[in-house]
Amino acid sequence: MIEKIKQESRRYAKRQLTWFRKNKETIWLDAEDGIQNNIKIILEG
């Protein structure tokens, strides 16, 4: 059962990524860029 839950969780995450990639209004942030840069991107968006 645990393996089934893990598999379904991965599938759900993949569907989410597919949906977000198709959505042109999605603002992608990079965690390695730093908080200040991400805040700047959000405010400009």
21-45: per-residue pLDDT in tens? 999 999 899 999 899 999 999 998 7
**The pLDDT value given to residue 45:** 74
In sequence order, which ranges of 1-45 are alpha helices (DSSP H)? 2-22, 35-44
The full set of domain ranges for the chain reads 2-44
For residue 7, give Cα distances in angstroms to 1, 19, 37.
10, 19, 35
**The pLDDT value given to residue 10:** 98
